[in-house]
Chains A and B, each alone.
Chain A
Amino acid sequence: MSGKLRKQVRQALADETLQVALSRFTMLTKFGRQMGMAGIDFEALRQELRERKAKAIDNLPALIEEFKANAAAAGAVVFEAGNADKANDYIAGLARRRGIRHIIKSKSMLTEEIGLRHHLERLGIRVDETDIGERIVQLAREKPAHIVGPAIHKTTEQIASLFTELLGEQVSTESQPLLDTVRDSLRQCYLDADMGISGANIAIAETGTIVILTNEGNGQLVTTLSPLQVAVVGIEKIMPGFEDANAVLRLLSRSCVGTKMTVYTSFITGTGKVSGLPLPGGQGPREMYIVLVDNGRSRMRDSDDFREALYCIKCGVCLNVCPVFASLSGQTYGHVYQGGIGAILTAFYHDRERSRDLSEMCMGCMSCKSVCPAGIDIPGLIRRLRAHHVREKGLPAVKRLAYSVLKHPARLERAVRAGAKLQGPFLDSDSMINRLPYPLSSLTDTISLPGLSSGLLRSRMAGCASPAPGRSPKVVFYSGCVTSYAYPELGEDVMSLLERVGVAPYYPQEQACCGAPAYFSGDYGSALALARRNIEALSGGDPDYIVTVCPGCAVMLKKEFLSLTAGLTELHEKAVRLSAKVRDLSQLLAELGTKPVVVAPAEKRVTYHDPCHLKRGLGISAEPRQLLEAAGYNLVEMNDSDACCGFGGDTLLSHPELCGSILQRKLVNIEATGVDTVVTGCTACVLQLRGGLHKNNSPIKVVHIARLLAGQV
C-alpha cells in the first residue's frame, strides 16, 4: 500500500467542505435511485441488460465490422485506435490538417482515460469542456470526482472563483446567477469553436449510429454546431440494435439520477443534409469521424476473470452507494475511473500497480453489486484482481505469516493463548483493548478491540462433538474465528439456544477458519486448504443443517467454497452438498418456525443493523426482524440500517482512518434512534460496532441476536 494514497485518504477525511458535499451527494443520489426504481422490475431489466451486453461482448469483433460498414455508408469516417496514443495522434493530426484552433467537447470518460484534452492543449489548441461539472474540473485543473458528476466536491464559492479568474470579472457566488454566467460563457464557446468532440454512451452496429446522453443539453450543441465532428467511442459500447440500446436507456438514468430518461438522448448516424437542397452536412457537421478505441478492452475481453467489467454502462451508481466513495470522493482515487469498478478498469486501461492500491480500499460490502444495472459482480472482480496481484507479486510478508497461522488451527490456538496471556496490561475494566503498541497500533486507532479469550470455544465444546442420538434435525454449529477466540460465550449461547428450540446441535472439533481473510486477499492457495479441511470436518455425522452466526463465514461455506473447489470433482461435489445445508442462525430459526424461548423485557426498544454479508450476501433481512418482534422487542429502525459498519477485514490494517469514517456514519445513525441496544447478526459487526461505541465512551450496547434470543442479555 502506498504511503501517498494513505496521505490522500487522510486529507480527504480531514476536508470538512468535502465531507459536507459528500454527505449531501449521498443523500441526493439515494433519494434519486429510490425514485428511479419505482414502478419497474429492476431484477428483470438488469437481467435483460446483462444478457444483451454479454452477447454483444461475445460477438464484438463481428459487431465492430458491422458498425464500421454502416457508419461509413452513412458518411462517417471510422478509425480504429489500438491504444491511447494512436487515438490522440489521429485526432490531433486531423485537427492540424484542418487548421483547428478551438474545440468544444462534451463529457466523455474515455477521453479522460486517454488524456485527449491534455494532448490537444499541449499542441496549442484551445479545448473547452462543455458539461458544467467537467468545465469546473477543467478550470480547477483536477480530475473528475465522479463518472457522472465530475465536480460534486466543489462549493459555489470555489466555482465562482474559477469563473472570476477565467472571465476577468467578479462572478456571483449565488447558485442561480452563477449558473447564468457559466451558461453564457459556454454559449460563446459553442459559437466560436470550429471542431466538436464527444464520446458515446452506446454505438448501434445495425445502423452505424452513436448515442449520446446529456441532461444539460450540451451534447446537442457540441455534436451539431461545428462543421467537423469527432466521436471517441470505446469498442465495448457497440451493441447490435436499437432494442439493445433501449435496454441501456431503461436503466442508465434511472440508476444514477433517478429520472426515467436522460433529458436529451441523441442518436446520430453519419452526416446530414439540407432537405430539398444539395447542401451536404446540413446544419450539422459536414465531416463526422468516429474513433473506436481499444486501449486494453480486447485484453479484458480475452480474460475469463474480467470480461464482465466490459458490461459497465458508466452510470456511476456503484459510486453513489459505495461507503468508501462516500468518505473520499473520486478525487482521492487519483485516477480517471473511481470506486470498485474503477480499480478494475484502471488495471486494464492504465496501471496495474495503482489498481492494487485501489483494490485494497474495498470493504467488500457488496452494495455496488446489489445496484449495478448490468449485474456486474464488482466485489468478485476486485477479489480476482487481488488474486492476480498475489500471483504476480506474492503476498505481503505480514499476510503470508497470518494466513499460514490461520491454516493450522493448532498454531492459531497457541497464538491466541499466547496473546491472551500477553494482553493483560492492555485490558481496561471492560476487558477491552483501547491501544495496542506498534506495529499493531492502527488496529486500535478507531475501535477498541475485545480481549482474546483464554478459554477457547473448542475446548468448551469438547463434549458436544456429535449430535444427541435419536434427535433431529442434526445441526452442526460452525462458530468462526471471532466467536471462537473473542466471544466464546456467544458460542455457548448458540448451542444452548439450539438445544432449547429442540434440534440436535453438535460442534465438530476439526472445524477451522473459513479462509475468508485469505480468500478476499487473493490467496486462493490458503483459502482452498481451509475449504478442504472445513468441508471434511463439517460433513461428518451427515448433518441436516450447518448453522453460523457470522454471515461472512456463511458466504464462504455456502458460495465461495463452490468456486474454490471448481475443478476438483470429488471435493466440489461435497462442497455442493454442504452448501445446500448452510444456514444463518436467524434463517434456520425462521425456517423451522421455532417459538421464542425468552420474552423481551416490557417496552424494550432495540435497533437492528443489517450485516452486509447477511443482507446482500445471503439475502436475509426480514428473518431477524421477525424473530425480534416475535420475542416482543420493539424495533426502532435506524437510517441506512444496511450501510456497512466499516469492519472491512484487512482494510482495517491498511486504511484504519477510512474504516473509522465509515464506522462513525453508522454510529451517528445508531445514536439517532435513541435506543440503548443495537442488535445485529454478525460477529464481525459486533466487534466493530462495540469497539467503536466503547472508543466513543457511548453507553449503547451491541448484542448479537443469538445472545438476545437465548435470553443472555
Chain B
Amino acid sequence: MPNDNELLERFKTEAALTGAQVKLASSAEEAVKYVLGLAKEQGITTVVKSTSAIADRLDLTARLSKAGIKVMETSIAQWAAQLARGQEVPIDKIAELISAATGETVPADPKAILQVARRVLKDAYTGAGLGITEADFGIAETGTLVTLENEGNARLAAALPKLHLTLLDGTRIAGSLADAAELIKGSPGGIPGHKVPTFITYLTGRNTTADIPGAIFARAQGPAEEHILILKA
C-alpha cells in the first residue's frame, strides 16, 4: 500500500498531465496568498463558491472580500445565511431575504423560493470570473477530483464560471478507481432512499472538444482553466 505522500505525489503528477494547474500549499497563509494571487492575475472581481470546510478554515471569503472581490455562496442555505450576515435562516425568512436582495417580491412558498433562487444563481454562475469548490477526495492513478453533493450547486460552480479552482485536502487521496468506489459507497449522503449522493462528479483535467477542426481545443463548454489547490495537512 502506498503511503499518503506517495499517493499525493502520484495525484499531483497525474493531475498536471491532464492539463490542470496544481498548487501544493503547506500553510493556510500560503494557500490564501495563492488564491488572492490567482484572482489578481486573472482580474477576477466575482467569485461563486460552494460549501467548503477548507475555505472556512482559510477564512477565504473574508480574505477575498477584503481584497475587493465579491464572493457569493451558492448553496441556497448558505447564500441565505450570507444575506443574513452569517445568521442561520429558517425557511420562512428566506423569501424575505431574497426579496430584499433581488428587489422582487418572492412569496414564502418553497417552490417559488427555489425558482427565484435558481434563476439568480444561474446568473451568478455564468457571470462569475471564478468558481471555487471543494473536492471530497482525489484519485491518484488518474489525477481525478471527486465531488459528492445533493444540491447540484457545486457542479454548476465548477462548470459555468470562466475559471475553476478546486480545493483539496492533501490527506484525502484514493489510490485507484476501485478505492474511490469504496469511499463513495461509504458516503450515503443523507437523502432517504439514496444509497449514494445524488450528484457524484469525477473531474479529470480541462474540458476539451475535438469537434472544431484544427486541434483539440480546451474550454469547450466549461471553464477556460482548471486549478487545483492542495492543502497539505
Chain A residues with CB under 8 Å of chain B are 21, 24, 28, 70, 73-75, 130-133, 136, 149-152, 154-156, 159, 175-176, 178-179, 182-183, 186-187, 191, 206-209, 215-218, 220-221, 224-225, 227, 241-243, 245-246, 249-250, 257, 259-284, 286
A270-B194, A283-B153 known; 7 new pairs, CB 8 Å cut-off, are: A175-B217, A182-B212, A224-B155, A243-B178, A257-B210, A264-B204, A270-B191
Flag B207-232 by CB within 8 Å of A: 1 or 0 each: 11111111101011110000000000
**What is the CA–CA distance of A243 and B180 in the complex, to the nearest angstrom?**
10
From known contacts A175-B217, A179-B220, A273-B151, infer whether A217 and B197 are also in contact, taking CB-CB under 8 Å: no
Query: How many residues of B are in contact with the other chain, CB < 8 A?
Result: 65
Q: Which of B183-219 contact A (CB under 8 A)?
A: 184-185, 191, 193-215, 217, 219
| CB atoms of A220 and B159 under 8 A apart | yes
Which residues of B sit under 8 angstroms from A246, Cβ to Cβ?
177-178, 181
**What is the CA–CA distance of A191 and B121 in the complex, to the nearest angstrom?**
11
Nearest first, the 6 closest Cβ-Cβ pairs linking A and B are A217-B222, A284-B152, A272-B198, A216-B220, A133-B211, A175-B214
**What is the CA–CA distance of A264 and B209 in the complex, to the nearest angstrom?**
12
| CB atoms of A274 and B208 under 8 A apart | no
Q: Which of A155, A176, A283, A286 contacts B76 (CB 8 A)?
A: A283
Chain B residues with CB under 8 Å of chain A are 14, 18, 51, 74-77, 91, 94, 110, 113-114, 117-118, 121-122, 126, 141-144, 149-153, 155-156, 158-160, 177-178, 181, 184-185, 191, 193-215, 217, 219-222
From known contacts A272-B199, A282-B151, A284-B152, infer whether A179 and B77 are also in contact, taking CB-CB under 8 Å: no
Q: Which of A159, A266, A267 contacts B196 (CB 8 A)?
A: A267
Which residues of B sit under 8 angstroms from A277, Cβ to Cβ?
76-77, 91, 94
Which residues of B sit under 8 angstroms from A176, Cβ to Cβ?
217
Smallest distance from the beta carbon of B143 to chain A beta carbons, Å? 8
| CB atoms of A284 and B212 under 8 A apart | no
Which residues of A sit under 8 angstroms from B208, Cβ to Cβ?
215-216, 263
**What is the CA–CA distance of A155 and B212 in the complex, to the nearest angstrom?**
8
Which residues of A sit under 8 angstroms from B110, Cβ to Cβ?
278-280
| CB atoms of B207 and A263 under 8 A apart | yes
Q: Which of B151, B177, B211 contacts A275 (CB 8 A)?
A: B151
| CB atoms of A272 and B152 under 8 A apart | yes
Q: Which of B113, B201, B211 contacts A151 (CB 8 A)?
A: B211
Which residues of A sit under 8 angstroms from B217, Cβ to Cβ?
175-176, 179
In the complex, 29 of the A-B residue pairs with CB atoms within 8 angstroms, ordered by the A residue number, are A131-B211, A132-B209, A132-B211, A150-B211, A156-B212, A159-B213, A175-B212, A183-B221, A215-B210, A216-B211, A216-B221, A217-B159, A225-B122, A249-B177, A260-B14, A264-B207, A265-B202, A266-B202, A267-B199, A267-B202, A269-B194, A269-B195, A273-B151, A275-B75, A277-B91, A282-B150, A283-B117, A283-B121, A283-B151
Name the residue of chain A whose CB is nearest to the CB of B192: A73
| CB atoms of B212 and A268 under 8 A apart | no
Name the residue of chain B whose CB is nearest to the CB of A148: B210
Which residues of A sit under 8 angstroms from B77, Cβ to Cβ?
274-277
| CB atoms of A70 and B195 under 8 A apart | yes
| CB atoms of B150 and A272 under 8 A apart | yes
Which residues of B sit under 8 angstroms from A221, Cβ to Cβ?
156, 159-160, 221
Which residues of B sit under 8 angstroms from A245, Cβ to Cβ?
181
Which residues of B sit under 8 angstroms from A24, Cβ to Cβ?
213
Which residues of A sit under 8 angstroms from B150, Cβ to Cβ?
272-273, 275, 282
Smallest distance from the beta carbon of B223 to chain A beta carbons, Å? 8
Which residues of A sit under 8 angstroms from B158, Cβ to Cβ?
220
**What is the CA–CA distance of A266 and B200 in the complex, to the nearest angstrom?**
6
Q: Which of A74, A155, A279 contacts B194 (CB 8 A)?
A: A74
Smallest distance from the beta carbon of B128 to chain A beta carbons, Å? 13
Q: Which of A131, A191, A243, A266 contacts B201 (CB 8 A)?
A: A266
| CB atoms of B207 and A217 under 8 A apart | yes
Smallest distance from the beta carbon of B206 to chain A beta carbons, Å? 7
Smallest distance from the beta carbon of A645 to chain B beta carbons, Å? 29
Which residues of A sit under 8 angstroms from B113, Cβ to Cβ?
279
| CB atoms of B211 and A136 under 8 A apart | yes
| CB atoms of B118 and A283 under 8 A apart | yes
Smallest distance from the beta carbon of B91 to chain A beta carbons, Å? 6
Which residues of B sit under 8 angstroms from A265, Cβ to Cβ?
144, 201-202, 204
| CB atoms of B191 and A273 under 8 A apart | yes
Smallest distance from the beta carbon of A267 to chain B beta carbons, Å? 4
**What is the CA–CA distance of A266 and B158 in the complex, to the nearest angstrom?**
13
From known contacts A209-B196, A249-B177, infer whether A186 and B211 are also in contact, taking CB-CB under 8 Å: no
| CB atoms of A259 and B155 under 8 A apart | no
From known contacts A132-B209, A155-B213, A284-B151, infer whether A272 and B191 are also in contact, taking CB-CB under 8 Å: yes
Smallest distance from the beta carbon of B115 to chain A beta carbons, Å? 8
Name the residue of chain B whose CB is nearest to the CB of A150: B211
| CB atoms of B200 and A267 under 8 A apart | yes
Which residues of A sit under 8 angstroms from B205, Cβ to Cβ?
259, 261, 263
Which residues of A sit under 8 angstroms from B91, Cβ to Cβ?
277-279
**What is the CA–CA distance of A522 and B178 in the complex, to the nearest angstrom?**
43
| CB atoms of B181 and A207 under 8 A apart | no
**What is the CA–CA distance of A150 and B184 in the complex, to the nearest angstrom?**
33
Q: Which of B156, B207, B210 contacts A283 (CB 8 A)?
A: B156
**What is the CA–CA distance of A221 and B156 in the complex, to the nearest angstrom?**
7
Name the residue of chain B whose CB is nearest to the CB of A178: B212
**What is the CA–CA distance of A262 and B204 in the complex, to the nearest angstrom?**
7
